[in-house]
A and B are shown apart, each in its own frame.
Chain A
Amino acid sequence: MRVRTKTFLFIIGGIAIIAASVGLVLFALRNNVSLYFTPTQVFNKEAPQGRNFRIGGLVEVGSLTREKDGLTSHFIITDMMKTMPVTYKGILPDLFKEGKGVVAQGKLQSDNVFYAEEVLAKHDENYMPPEAKDALDKAARAQSALNAASGIPPTDTTAKKIGY
């Protein structure tokens, strides 16, 4: 065998071995690499018990309430299957909105409320000017009104788009 062919095979073999080992490492880490758990995963007890973790999903529409002190807020994180009530004392990020993505870090207490120490807003990969967004929202409202009139239950299109 020529030296060049040998080197080539050696490199190809090396890459294959490394790719396989990286694949195995990633497979072993597949849950730990994710930044957050969904409420469904928490419900299925896949999230760590008794220590800090992150939970992510959408802020349920109409769930945000603030206490008198102006800092403590309560809201519900949903992945459209399960929900998780969250309490957070601190300033919420600017992009924090009902119906939008959120990632909260904290601890699940025995009262089944998630006490967050940090709340991060998650935005999607769609970019458009406000007029285009208004037009889309209007179309979505018209569609849901149409559905309501004909008896079809409303669907949350934003949740599907973001992929929760």
Chain B
Amino acid sequence: MTIHWFKYAAPTTFYGLAGKLIPFFAWPSAILFVAGIYFGFFVAPTDAVQSEAYRIMFIHVPVSILSMFIYLIMAGYAALGLIFKTRLSSMMASALAPTGAIFAFIALWSGALWGKPMWGAWWVWDARLTSELILLFLYLGFIALQASIDDPRRADRAGALLAIVGSVNVPIIYFSVKWWNTLHQGSTIKFSDTSMHVAMKQALFLMMAACWLYTIAITLVRVRSIILERERNTQWVSELEEVRS
């Protein structure tokens, strides 16, 4: 059997594939969210220093990590679209941006809710916090820039440049707690090990997996809409069952 690698790089075929894939990511995501919340709030033990307040971490850590990851993936897709002129890559970048922005926003918001009781401040101009705020602005800038240009190809090019340039911010966020004195604590999840009780770790990984699957599912939903919108004048779209009815 020969595999046609580029078959699904065409929006026409990817539209159908994405539609079939969505339930396989959406349902596991929902189940893992419920499991993660249950483990995080009822199974994981109380923390010795922060008692119950540390449980904000089960929301805060997955969305923060993903807000950075999604940016890199978005910039990667945007770069592919810019270099190889593949339409689907640019559409994927546009589809990822809102999820990344929402995650960055939740990261900042949940961080503020955590910071007030533990540190004593909603917000400080700490390197970690400030660079994450810049990440949110980069996402919003990407979305706004693409929305302000009518020609989709030019919008893709302009957005791609912004996305690629902005990706230097991601390592700054990640290493900020190492490079400078910050109020924000260091990384709990490192490449080598984690400094965390095993039951807490399990809950955190459940939430992380749930957020990953959610991201994939919602991006596929969004990319389908973008495909329909951009290809609305083509033959194949007008022949789609959901369009005709």
Chain B 25-50, CB-CB to A under 8 Å as 1, else 0, gives 00000000000000000000111111
Cβ-defined contact, A125 with B185, below 8 A: yes
Given contacts A120-B183, A126-B196, A129-B47, contact A35 B124 (CB under 8 A): yes
- Contact stretch, chosen from A12-20, A59-67, A68-76, A147-155: A12-20
Q: Is the interface of A mostly helix, strand, loop or mixed?
A: mixed
A123-B127 CB under 8 A given contacts A18-B168, A19-B168, A95-B49 = no
Would A93 and B125 be within 8 Å (CB), given that A33-B180, A127-B196 are in contact?
no
Do B118 and A123 have beta carbons less than 8 Å apart? yes
CA distance A4 to B83 in the complex (A): 6
Count of chain B residues near A, Cβ 8 A: 40
- Asked if A129 meets B126 with Cβ closer than 8 Å, knowing A11-B82, A33-B180, the reply is no
Q: Are A35 and B197 in contact (CB under 8 A)?
A: no
Contact between A11 and B83, CB atoms less than 8 A apart: yes
Chain B contacts for A124, CB-based, 8 A: 49, 185-186
Instruction: State whether the Cβ of B188 lies closer than 8 Å to any Cβ in chain A.
Output: yes
Check B6 for interface membership: any CB of A closer than 8 A: no
Does residue B225 face the partner (Cβ distance < 8 Å to A)?
no
Cα–Cα distance between A14 and B165 once the two chains are bound (Å): 8
| Chain A interfacial residues counted at CB < 8 A | 39
Residues of A within 8 A of B186 (CB): 124-125, 163
| Inter-chain contacts of B181 with A (CB < 8 A) | 34-38, 56
Distance in angstroms from A134 CB to nearest chain B CB is 8
Any A CB within 8 A of the CB of B69: no
Closest beta carbon of chain B to A4's beta carbon, Å: 6
Interface positions, chain B 146-189, Cβ under 8 Å from A, are: 161, 164-165, 168, 172, 176, 179-183, 185-188
Contact with B along A17-36 (1 / 0, CB 8 A): 01100100010001001111
Nearest B-chain residue to A23, judged by Cβ: B168
Q: Which of A26, A94, A122 contacts B183 (CB 8 A)?
A: A122
Residues in B with CB closer than 8 Å to A128 are: 47-48, 196-197
Which residues, 71 to 91 on B, are CB-close (under 8 Å) to A? Answer: 79, 82-84
Verify if A43 is at the interface (C-beta below 8 Å from B).
no
Top 4 closest A-B pairs, CB basis?
A: A93-B120, A133-B48, A129-B45, A34-B181
Kindly list 12 other residue pairs between chains A and B, CB separation below 8 angstroms, not including A125-B195, A127-B188, A132-B48. A4-B83, A11-B164, A14-B165, A35-B127, A35-B181, A120-B120, A123-B185, A124-B49, A124-B185, A126-B196, A127-B47, A127-B57
